[in-house]
Chains A and B, each alone.
Chain A
Amino acid sequence: MIEVSHVCRQYALSKKQKAELQTTAGSLNAVNDVSFTCRPGRIFSLLGPNGAGKTTTLRMIATLLLPTTGTIRVNGLDVVQDAAAVRRKIGFLTGSTNLYERLTPAETVKYFADLYGLPSAVFKERKEKLFTQLGINDFLNKRIGQLSTGMKQRVSIARTMIHDPEVVIFDEPTSGLDVITAGGIIDLIRDCKAAGKTVIFSSHIMSEVDLLCDELAIINKGRLVYSDTMEHFRKTSGNESLTATFIRLVQGSLTPSAPKERGDS
């Protein structure tokens, strides 16, 4: 369970950044009064264009960044007060993450298991299950630097899931991957749902969201412009394509009167 309530994240702007953004304001709200809830066994998707604030939101949930105001709870634990406890419960996977090139898949997974303090019997069992499931046993002791992108992605998944996290956070997990490799991630997200985990993933691709998610939040320029079930979104969309509705919602949010989030169809 992830409960995000009235979260803002402010960044102070440097002179250079002010010039780039053509603004005189001293700070920028990357995330502005965002609230949503992700429930166990449901896939929650955070959709938005580049620079909308998706990564900032997910990083705050993962305790990497502190919210300026508002609260975030993961399985009832506050991300600021109980950061270490929250980190034990989460698995975090981003599309841009690399692995340690000079370690082997076996060493990488062992390293993370040690950081999570997994007892060795539990580690052995989890490792065998994941490695068989993901087909990592064929290249177990090869240096990661010598592996293909697809193989690396499988190792990343094993690394994320080794401690059997209750909450899994995916930050644009398929970006830069081919369809086949991305398929592995899609399967993983579905498995997480089946296992009753809380899943949140960010994306800027509507088709991916359509394939997976149960709940949808659309974010633009740090503000939430839509938050409801996927089912409801499909209804809202009507005859229009889902992408067209997404674009309309995002562009609509640029005008001063942002649309109401619920029941405006």
Chain B
Amino acid sequence: MNTILTIFRKEIKTTLRDRRTLISAILLPVLAMPLLLLGITKFSKRMAEKEAAKELKIVLRHAPPALAQQFAAAPGFTLIPEMPLPAARDSVAQEVYDAALDFNPAFAQTVDSMGAGQVAFYYKSTNTSVEGRVEKVLDAYKAEVLNKRFERLHISPALLEPIALQSIDVASQQEQIGMLAGGFLPYIFILFCFMACMYPALDLITGEKEKGTLETLLTTPASRFQILIGKVLAIGVVGVFAAVMTIVGMFAAMRLFEGIPPEILHAINDILSLRFVLLLFGMLVPLSLFFAGALAAVAIRASSFKEAQTLISPMMFVVIVPAMMALMPGMRLTWQTAAIPILNIALATKEITAGTIHYGQYALLVISLIVAALLAIAVSVRQFSKEGNILK
């Protein structure tokens, strides 16, 4: 045990002195969620504002004067004098103008006689927001026409609304956050946990083999089993650390995020309980050891850093696919999914955040992860005891 501890301490020390590991295990995970949340939401908000403020140039052909007036009055529209249809259509295609509305010459008459007036709307679907903004003006006109018709026929508008629907969401704030962040968060922290394990695995196993220091280490009384376990534990700790950093980063980002209603902030504080932390650790520790064991088993086989990278890269897909499956609609933690490593963590995180975790399923999940971790470590121990794998 002392020997394993000696090896573990030394590996942690050398790993912490390595800039590349520090970046992949601390810096990237901490920054990932704040950058994604703050950066992307701010960016998309700004883009949407910019789009909304954009002046739309619109060609109206044979438009009823009432409607033309509404367009002229709506903010952000510039009316272009009438022109032949092909020219109008081309200028929309070439983005000289943003849209063209070609009203049937009999439009006003049809509408007045309670029919459906025809209008062709030329626009480019690639220019987002044009469609919505034009339809908004048309809808306003439509509502006006409808009201007039109801008046004429002496019908109450309520006649067309037989149902007065009042929706009340009884999901707690915590459950709502669980649904939103719970799906996305595990995907990110599983990925960072794996990536953070990757570099130390290469460095502590293939690196030591490549540099020739392993040969000397093997001539000491430390057994091959002790050496490998010391290394796998060190790799696993780095992985847990990276995953925790990702989660810390996310909650920090949520607190920094401007405009979050106080009740949601309150809910976030509720989520961050000791129970949440313990449940998360219960999954992260075996997950990270599973990654460490699997990566070690592969890294031992490689004789150079380059070879190890080639062998390890495809493993990333094995990690991403189950994590992504958890994002699919309808995927929930059940007795079946709780037994599938990686997928089960992604699904359980949702439930833990929402406070709806089933403890029996959670226990099954932890057991399945421990079994996976033990298997991976057993394989790596086997690989490490082969002479051909450890000596150059």
Contacts and interface: CB of A to CB of B under 8 A. Distances in A.
A97 B7 CA distance: 18
For chain A, the bracket of interface size reads 20 to 34
Interface stretch (A107-115, A122-130, A133-141, A211-219): A107-115
Contacts of B18: 102
A103 B208 CA distance: 13
Interface string B331-358: 0000000000000000000000000000
Interface stretch (B82-90, B213-221, B295-303): B213-221
B219 A103 contact: no
Which residue, B18, B215, B218, has most C-beta atoms of chain A within 10 A?
B215
* Candidate in B13, B212, B219 with the most chain A CB atoms within 10 angstroms: B219
A87 interface: yes
Name the residue in B2, B216, B217, B223 with the highest tally of chain A Cβ atoms < 10 Å from its Cβ.
B216
Contact of A64 (B10, B222, B391): B391
B221 A96 contact: no
B14 A100 contact: yes
Given A59-B391, A65-B391, A115-B221, A98 B10 contact: no
A25 B3 CA distance: 42
B6 interface: yes
Contact of A87 (B2, B215, B221): B221
B387 A63 contact: no
A170 to B, nearest CB: 12
Interface residues of B, number: 23
B213 A98 contact: yes
A65 B386 CA distance: 10
B220 A98 contact: no
A192 to B, nearest CB: 16
Given A64-B391, A115-B3, A117-B2, A103 B216 contact: no
Given A102-B14, A114-B6, A97 B222 contact: no
A97 B212 contact: yes
Contacts of B7: 115
Interface in B1-21: 2-3, 6-7, 10, 13-14, 17-18
A119 B387 CA distance: 31
B211 interface: yes
The main secondary structure of chain B at its interface with chain A is helix
A64 B219 contact: yes
B216 A97 contact: yes
Given A92-B219, A112-B220, A98 B13 contact: no
Interface string B174-217: 00000000000000000000000000000000000001110111
B212 A98 contact: yes
B213 A111 contact: no
Contact of A107 (B2, B3, B13): B13
A66 interface: yes
Given A87-B220, A111-B10, A112-B220, A96 B17 contact: no
A107 B16 CA distance: 14
B216 A117 contact: no
Contact of A111 (B2, B6, B211, B212): B6
A151 to B, nearest CB: 17
Contacts of A87: 219-221
Nearest to B222: A115
Interface in A80-121: 84, 87-88, 90, 92-94, 96-100, 102-103, 107, 111-112, 114-117
Interface of B: 2-3, 6-7, 10, 13-14, 17-18, 211-213, 215-223, 387, 391
9 contacts: A59-B215, A59-B391, A64-B218, A92-B219, A94-B216, A97-B215, A99-B213, A114-B3, A117-B221
**The 10 residue pairs across chains A and B that have the minimum distance between CB atoms:** A92-B219, A102-B17, A115-B220, A114-B6, A98-B211, A102-B14, A62-B219, A87-B221, A115-B222, A111-B10
Given A84-B221, A117-B2, 8 more contacts: A90-B219, A97-B215, A97-B216, A98-B212, A100-B213, A102-B13, A114-B3, A115-B7
